[in-house]
Structure 1
Amino acid sequence: MISSIGSQSDADAFYALNEEWISRLFTLQEEDRAVLGDPFGRIVGPGGDVLMAREPGSGTVVGCVALLAYPDAVFELAKMAVAPAAQGRGIGRQLIAAAIDRARALGGTRLFLGTNSKLTPALHLYEDAGFGRITRDRLPVADYYARADILMELRSDGAL
């Protein structure tokens, strides 16, 4: 089951899920801490959303993804994480599909993301969902995560 962030415990799970993988593979940067530490103020308030994947029955959060809002109805798919114990069950695929649907519902005209070549499973999920590679000059922001060595946007055949 996937739903929007709704409580402080959801916010805590969002932080913990992302902190785990970012700290394991990269370095948690100050911008990561700021966004992860205040999803209501930094993501939801400005017009985005955080989607939470929950275990049926228990409601335990096992995954998440954020949609960060930019001017001109542009959204960034970011901060996607699935708990290690829940990986391999299609949760990432469900989160991406839900994020695309939510970006459309929010009036989005463009959806982009940054990822890293180390994250091969995620890269395949993004490609399967219709994302294609772009160059850094196509980003709507000048200062973007250095760890993002692959940039993508939803191709026109998967248009919002």
Structure 2
Amino acid sequence: MLSQPASDDASHAPIEIVSYRPALAEAFWRLNVQWLERYFQLEEVDRVMLADPEHHVLAPGGELLFACRAGHAVGTCALLKAGEGVFELAKMCVDERCQGQGIGRRLLAAAIETFHRRGGRELFLESNSRLTTALRLYEAAGFVRQDGPRPGSHYRRADVYMIYRPTR
């Protein structure tokens, strides 16, 4: 029901950023597995979170956002609550057939807006140095690279640690 639309007409429909609802759980899994298997390997921490986002993202106080086109999820990201006022931007991905259309930028802007609306004081992310396009997007949005990976990282693939430094 929420898979990528096949028609060309749907590919020109506007993007809507929406919050999680149970019908989007499959899309959260599908989009992330597609992305992770393209660039890396699915790690156990990924399997656990993707299998039950309501328990591992929402219940602890996080948020899930989706970019939808014509009612179909084409991108997603998570704000994981890491502490009081501290959030991790995670699981951000866009369907490979929809990349290069500004969807990631829209998702990132919505995540940052959600972070501010929630009164966040620190926002960080972990990534990989191979993902140069994503890293440029994060830097343009105000994320600053830190020296070395995040201490205590949950991800084997993470070799980049960035902290959001808002300009507003």
Residue of structure 2 in register with 1:110 after alignment: 122
Tell me how far apart the structure 2 counterparts of residues 136 and 149 of structure 1 sit (CA, whole Å): 7
Q: Deviation at 1:112?
A: 0.2
Residue of structure 2 in register with 1:54 after alignment: 68
Q: Please give the residue correspondences for 1:6-155 in structure 2 after superposition, counting only pairs within 5 Å.
A: 6-7=21-22, 9-55=23-69, 58-136=70-148, 139=150, 142-155=152-165
- Judge conservation of contact 2:45–2:154 (CA < 8 Å) in 1: no
Tell me how far apart the structure 1 counterparts of residues 76 and 95 of structure 2 sit (CA, whole Å): 9
1:4 aligns with 2:14: no
- State, as a whole percentage, how many aligned pairs show the same letter: 46
- Judge conservation of contact 2:65–2:107 (CA < 8 Å) in 1: yes
Tell me how far apart the structure 2 counterparts of residues 109 and 125 of structure 1 sit (CA, whole Å): 21
- RMSD of aligned alpha carbons: 1.5
Q: Deviation at 1:69?
A: 0.1
CA 1:87–1:128 in structure 2 vs 1: closer, same or farther (change >3 Å)?
A: same
> What amino acid does structure 2 have at the position aligned with 1:49?
E
Q: TM-score, normalised by structure 1?
A: 0.90
List gaps (5 residues or longer) in structure 1.
none
Give the number of the structure whose alpha-carbon radius of gyration is greater. 2
Q: Deviation at 1:146?
A: 2.1
